[in-house]
Amino acid sequence: MATQVLIRAALPSESELQSFARAAAQLLVERLPHAQGSRTVNRRAGVGIQHLDHRDYAAGDEVRHIDWRQTARRRRPIIRRFESESVSDWTLVLDASSSMAVHGAAKWRAAVRVGAAMSYALLELGHRVGLLAFGGHVLSEVPRGRGQHHYAAIARRLVELQPARAGERSELGVCARHLHGAASVFAISDFLADDEMRRDLSALLQRCTALHALQVSDATETELQAAGEFDLVDVETGARMQARAGEDANARATGERAAMTARLRSFCARSGIAFTDWDVAQSWQHTLLRHLIQARSLC
């Protein structure tokens, strides 16, 4: 799948995407997490008789599916792909609030990478994928679509998006009104809110067939580099609080963050939401694969 040179710098490389897509294909095809009311959608690459498109031959592909005419024309082995008998709709929900932009926007860059990888892998399997970026309201929306060109559109939008440095709140619930039809939702956020966005997740769960929650966290956001007294400013609300920085304060903040994660994890387990906490220092491929494996077991 060709991607624009312009967006390659910010997104995973094509080889990384392909590698991840191949690894995730089995997890996304064989047993997709679903909930009651899911529907079967056509045009998914897989086992079928309806021709979908072509792609380069890879080791392990069926030899009988090689399209000899295209192989002769392109001078490399090309195989035919057929529509799967069942595909589904996916919506990636991406948190673009100001809390994602602190500490060098490490969380935001990680979220963009994960969003691009998930959309690539899902589109590769023939699913229809849409994108919603939210802050205090829906900041950007890419309607569902399929195919290589649609990944290019999603990737371009991901590169263009920049979370505001301050003042942009996290209102995941506003995305519920933008979910139409039966779709699986993959929410990527730091879930930093008063109730860890549990109420918003509940609202989303009512409007989708399956809900994934990937919590992006950054260990440095609970570590102040300098010691002494500071005026801490909440980048989303602008509220201020005087705090005395130091190892003790950092430990308390880390503990608070862990408690929030635990509450959210417990809520997701109760609600049937596939939840993973991801420290951005860890590999995104392993994190996503681990999440999909956990989601299979959940389903």
Partner 1 sequence: MLTFVAPVWLFGILLVPVIRWLHRGGRHLRAVPVSRLGLWRRAAASSPAAGERRPPDPAWRRRALMTALLVVALAGPQLPEQRTDITLWIDDSLSMLTREEHGTRFADGLAQVRTLLAEVPHANVDVRTLGDPWHSLGSLSDANIAAVVAGAGRKRPSAPPAALLLGDRMHWLLTDGAHAALFEWPGGSRPDRIVQLAGVTRNVGLERISARRSLNDPERYDVSLKVTNGGTASETRVVIIAADSGELARSDLRLDPGAFTLVTASIPASAKVRATLQPGDALAEDDEIVLDLGPLHRRRIAIDAKCPPALRAAVAAHPALAQAEQGASDVEAVLDCGTRSVIGGAASIRILANRTASRPSGPVQWSSAVPESRRIRLDAERMQVAARLEARPGDVILLAAGDEPLIVSRAGASQLLETSLDFSSEEALRGPEIPLLVNLMFERILGGPLLDAIATVDRGAGSARVAPSERTGASTSARAPTVSRSLRDWTQPFVIAALLVLLWELFALALQAYRSTNYAGAETR
Site size toward partner 1 (CB under 8 A) is: 41
Residues 173, 178, 181, 186: is their CA dihedral positive or negative?
Answer: negative
Least gap, CB of 237 to partner 1 (angstroms): 7
Least gap, CB of 248 to partner 1 (angstroms): 7
Residue 104 binds partner 1, judged by CB under 8 A: yes
The window from 71-79, 149-157, 256-264, 278-286 that contacts partner 1 (CB under 8 A) reads: 256-264
Least gap, CB of 10 to partner 1 (angstroms): 17
What's CA 149's distance to the chain center, in Å? 19
Q: Which of residues 188-247 bind partner 1 (CB under 8 A)?
A: 190, 192, 194, 221-222, 224-226, 229-237, 239-245
Residue 49 binds partner 1, judged by CB under 8 A: no
Q: Tokens 């969380």 belong to which residue?
A: 107
Least gap, CB of 243 to partner 1 (angstroms): 5
User: Whole-angstrom Cα distance, residue 68 to residue 130?
Assistant: 34
User: Whole-angstrom Cα distance, residue 84 to residue 141?
Assistant: 27
The window from 101-109, 134-142, 152-160, 179-187 that contacts partner 1 (CB under 8 A) reads: 101-109
112, HSE (Cβ side, Cα atoms, 13 Å): 25
- Among residues 206 and 225, whose Cβ is nearest to partner 1? 225
What's CA 189's distance to the chain center, in Å? 9
Q: How many CB atoms lie within 10 A of CB 257?
A: 18
- Among residues 41 and 235, whose Cβ is nearest to partner 1? 235
Phi-psi region for residue 181, left (φ > 0), alpha (ψ -120 to 50) or beta? left
User: Whole-angstrom Cα distance, residue 202 to residue 16?
Assistant: 33
Residues contributing to the site for partner 1 (CB under 8 A)? 98-100, 102-105, 107, 165-166, 190, 192, 194, 221-222, 224-226, 229-237, 239-245, 248-249, 252-253, 256-257, 260
